Structure formats: C-alpha cells, structure tokens
Copies of this chain bind each other. A is one copy, B any other.
Amino acid sequence: MSSKKRTTIHDIAKKLDITASTVSRALKDHPRISDATKELVIKTAKEMNYQPNSIAAALRRGTSNLIGVIIPNIDRNFFASVVRGVEDVLNDTNYNVIICQSNDSLEKEKSNIKALLEAQVDGIFASYAKETTDFSHFEDIVNRGIPLILFDRMQDVFNVDAVVIDDYLGAYKATEHLIEQGCERIVHFAGPENVSIYRDRRRGYEEAMKRSHLSVDEDLIIHSDLKLESGKRLAEEILEWNELPDAIFSASDYAAMGAMEVFKKHDIEIPQDIAVVGFSNESFTSLIDPGLTSVDQHSKKMGQFTANLFLDRLKDKSKDHTPTKTVLNPELIIRGSSLKKVEQPQDQKIEPEHINT
C-alpha cells in the first residue's frame, strides 16, 4: 500500500513533458507562466497526490520556516500558554514551531540551542534557564544572524529583543486595589530577594502604599518561598498577632491560597475580615471559593507579542534594528477574595476557561 516514492516536481514535469522549473513556477503562481499550463500543472499535481518537500526548498532558499522555542518546562501552565500564543500567530504563516525544554538546566539549554541551529531554524524564542548567568551561547545565535527574542525572563546585561511583563506595575495595581477597597494594614508575602521579579513586586507594593500615604511597615513584609505550605504557615503566624491585618497581597497565588485555607478554617471572613490578592492568575484561582483576585501575566499574549515581533523584524531586516524591550501591562483580575465594596461594574473580567477531559 505504502507507495514508496513520493511524487516530485520532476515526476509531474515528465508526465506533462515540460521541465521541472516550469512546474515549480506554475505551482508558485509565477506571472510568467501561462494560465493554461498553470491549471494543467495544478490539476496534475493533485492527481498525482503531490506534496511539496519543504526540506528541499529550505536548503535551496536557506530558510527553513522553522522557529525554535526554548522554555524551562512545557507542563507549566504559564509556558504552555506562551507557546500557545506563539502557535496562534505562526499558524497563520508558513512557520512551524519546534519546542525544546531546558528543564532550567544550562547544559540542556546549550544543547537545545545547538540542535536548533543545526535544524537551521529561522528564529529562536527563549525563556532562559534559572541556572543561566552567562549568555554567550545566546550571543552565538545573534552572531549567526538568527533573530533571537527572549520572553518572560530577561537580563539587561545582554542586549536583545525581549518581551516581558511589568511585575512592578502588577504589584502596584494589586495593592492599589486593596487600598481602594478600604484596606490599610496590608501584609505582603514577598519572595526571595535575589529574584528580580520578586524585588519588582515588592517595589510595586511599597510604591502603592506610599502614594496613598500609608506607611510601609517592614513587619508587614514577610519573605518565604511562596509555596502553598508557606502560605499556610504564615497565616497561622499572623493569627497570633495582636492586631490582625485587613489584607494580604501575596507575590504568589499558591501562598495566597494556603493562607486563605487557614483563615477560612479559623472562621475569618474573606474578604470582609481579611482581603486577599495573589499573583499569576493560576487556573485554580477561579475555582476556589471565594475566587482569588490575582494579577494576570498575559501569558498567551506574551507569546503572540513575541511571534509578532519576530514577523515585524523580518519585514525590515535590512536595517540594523536596535533591540527592543516590550513590557506588557499586567491585568488585575478581581474576584471575590478582595471585593469588599458593593459590586462595581467590571467590564474586562477574563476568566480562564474551565477545562475538563
């Protein structure tokens, strides 16, 4: 059954007693080919079940129509969603996407890049590994003249196109929202200080407090690894305080959720007694009760932006473009965990789709 030989333009040419070049041009709708032969060629191609060999075309043209995407892990919601955004955009073009995972390992990242370069990809989108501090392997990509765009994580030392989210602004919005709800004694669950996104989130929190003439109380800023368990532990600690806070802004949804569980168990009303806001808009935030207000990082949009930036770069590749840093505006998704005042008109509530198998 399996017809070993795939038909090529030469097969079509032979059958029609013309040359392969004519066939090639006819299929590409070249203006110099008569309509009659075009029709004939197309018809015959269909009859012979012709499928172009893009590998051959790639070799000749020097462009593979492949894009490499390097992410730490594909089964992390955020990155999967970024990839989705990339795919959404590139699916309407001739590009195919190759996915590589670094598992946050520098070695793996290097070998990924090597593999992608060998596959002659036309561009690489990457979110670098946590281990990565030296960027010479990324510079290799740029030196080869292959467009590179970093997303989510980026380093200012390395001058390259990047698409990131504004963590500072996200935290600012979250805190400002809590203040608008009447909260004044707002605890911040902060992350490790050596990670830039957590420093930015803390800055956003502090700035929002200051702008509203609320004092930034160091005792209200608690550092942890921001995991679920830490959230629970911190909540237990807070319950021992003389004076309870009236809100918590957590730099992670997980810690926020852990805290909520503990508070609920102690019959503390959310958001009446303590309002809670998280960060990342993980899918579970809309599932729990009350829904957890959170900062959405526009993961899919980030992917779309990245892909579109690449396509834009292609158009005027002539010029030596200066690398651009695109900073996406995070969005506060307001849910029950922070909505103390009467329901306000909420025109842009984006709920992640419910998923079931």
Contact = CB atoms under 8 A, between A and B. Distances in A.
A254 B54 contact: no
Contacts of A144: 2-3, 6, 51
Interface stretch (A74-82, A305-313, A325-333): A74-82
A56 B59 CA distance: 6
A214 interface: no
Interface residues on A, range: 35 or more
Interface in A104-151: 108, 114-120, 142-145
A228 B283 CA distance: 13
A257 interface: yes
Contacts of A197: 357
A101 B87 contact: yes
Nearest to A357: B280
6 contacts: A53-B118, A66-B98, A74-B80, A74-B83, A91-B100, A96-B100
Interface string A22-48: 000000000000000000000000000
Nearest to A63: B55
Secondary structure of the A contact surface, majority rule: mixed
Contacts of A120: 53-55
A202 interface: no
A52 interface: yes
Given A64-B55, A98-B96, A287 B284 contact: yes
Closest 3 CB pairs of A and B: A2-B145, A284-B284, A80-B80
Most buried by B among A66, A284, A287: A287
Contacts of A59: 53, 55-56, 59
A222 to B, nearest CB: 15
Interface string A1-33: 111101000000000000000000000000000
A53 B115 CA distance: 10
A58 interface: yes
A188 interface: no
B354 A227 contact: yes
A54 B98 CA distance: 14
A334 interface: no
Interface string A283-300: 110011100000001001
Contacts of A274: none
Contacts of A2: 142-145
